[in-house]
Structure 1
Amino acid sequence: MNRTEDLLKLRPKLRRIKNELNSTLVEKFQNSTLRPILKFQHDLLMLVFHTCLIKNKILFENLSESEKESTLTQLFQKELAFRNQSLGIIIGLFTLEEYSHFAQEPGAYTKRITAMLKQRILSTYDLV
């Protein structure tokens, strides 16, 4: 049983982003690792977010777009359990090689993951 192969088989295949030759290592990591994991874990991430809203008694669907963005930013800053759980759901599906890459610049990648997750929540939560 090979953990790396098993993890990679789980991930959905996404359309390749054009100009990958000109992409930085960070952009390649985002497109080859983060985007597929976020897509694969989408339903679970939305459930974690929904649970956080219930816990904090937030009626997210009643907020304006700017209030949603502000609320989401505050949740990621103040609700460490929500933030860490969301990050763990994503990082837990890294291969060992991907985690080694992530560990070289965890702050930068955590910011990127958080931004991608916020964007995903804002674009899809009302549809759930």
Structure 2
Amino acid sequence: MTLLSRRVFVRGLRVEAAIGIYDHEHGRTQPLIIDAVFDIDTHAINSLKDTLNYEMVGRIGRDFIARGHIKLVETLADDMARTMVVLPHVQRVEVTIVKPEALNDAEQAGVCVIHTRD
């Protein structure tokens, strides 16, 4: 038997962020929901150092948010994906960020970006 692929994921990570381009979005935080799906190496995994630590997703997202107001959710998703794709064992990452309060008449609005290791 051959292992073809391995995916590690974090879904539904809830954070608060100062984000948005509109005047009413400045000076306050808004909820974001972050999903990240990683394609990682297919080598044997015997310990945490052989795989991706889930906690990195939250840490990376919170680090970018802590830097101050972010204009666009696209910027945050791209910055997070660029940082995550170079983590050990990661070959591809897909970051989706939903901004639940973006549209009153939509269930969800957000962005998804995909980066691969060069």
Work out which structure has the larger RCO, using CA pairs closer than 8 Å and 6 or more positions apart in sequence.
1
TM-score by length of 2: 0.30
Which structure shows the higher strand fraction?
2
Return the structure number with greater helix share.
Answer: 1
TM-score by length of 1: 0.28
